[in-house]
Structure 1
């Protein structure tokens, strides 16, 4: 079952979902930029939204750009809070060590995922309850199936 929420928007190009069931709507560039190897740039999308309370939007990379060209989003996911009304901008990074990448106006550069969020109430305690995992992290379950490290 698909859930939806109405999000008021001001945009030259309204984000669209490429396929039914997609989680992310494509954001497009409003400016042309050349990203040299290792270079990053803040790129406008022309999109401003008014999320309802209890929602946040997350800007994430497009998998095709990452896999084919080494283009990713710095500070991913970028969080758009419900109270923010400014333009959503995307900081792209060219991770390719040899090839420059040209972004043209209208290119799909990132995805926007709108999700409900829960506001936590943090409660200071002296000790945390036990769990099966405990404090294991950073590779504690290993890197290959059946092999712990």
Structure 2
């Protein structure tokens, strides 16, 4: 699928565009579009610009922003919103809200890889109001209703 991408910051060059690190990568690396290093302290939430905007070609596609596992495991840096959703009609700059769950200050460097961008298909649902939902094995059982193990 072709995805249009636009550089929206003079701090970036075409070499800084999101890209797959390996042939088997599911996500493209997003980089911090910063003029200088930023210190993120434990407990902080910092919106980090990426300097890029995208446009998806179809309504049945979404761009999902995921944390980088290395930043999370080594430094406690994760996404404040868990997973970011870039809707097909959003064409503004992608901004990644990083939160610091670690115990030591983390210095984020300009152009450092901060997140992964995954393009995925979605089903566009049409909700159908009903008076009755059919029976299932689980039914309305909520959290923990299927037990442990």
Instruction: Specify which of 25, 28, 48 is matched with residue 28 of structure 2.
Output: 25
Show the counterpart of 1:75: 81
> Which SS does the other structure have where 1:26 is aligned?
strand
Structure-1 residue corresponding to 2:94: 88
1:132 is displaced (CA, Å) by: 2.1
Cα distance, 1:14 vs. partner?
Answer: 1.1
Q: SS of 2:50's equivalent?
A: strand
Residue 9 in structure 1 maps to residue 5 in structure 2: yes
Count residues in correspondence: 139
- Runs (4+) of structure 1 exceeding 6 A deviation are none
TM-score normalised by the chain length of structure 1: 0.87
Query: What are the Cα deviations for residues 97-139 of structure 1, in whole angstroms up to 9, with x where unaligned?
Result: x201111111110111101111100111112111222223322
Cα RMSD (Å) of the superposition? Answer: 1.3
CA distance in 1 between counterparts of 2:147 and 2:38 reads 40
In the superposition, the TM-score normalised over structure 2's length comes to 0.87
Q: Which is worse superposed, 10-19 or 99-108?
A: 10-19
Of stretches 83-92 and 15-24 in structure 1, the one that deviates more from structure 2 is 15-24
| Residue from 31, 51, 55 that aligns with 2:61 | 55
Deviations along 1:62-93, one digit per CA (max 9) or x if unpaired, are 11111111100011211101111110000000
Flag the structure with higher strand content: 2
The separation in 2 between residues aligned to 1:19 and 1:87, in whole angstroms, is: 25
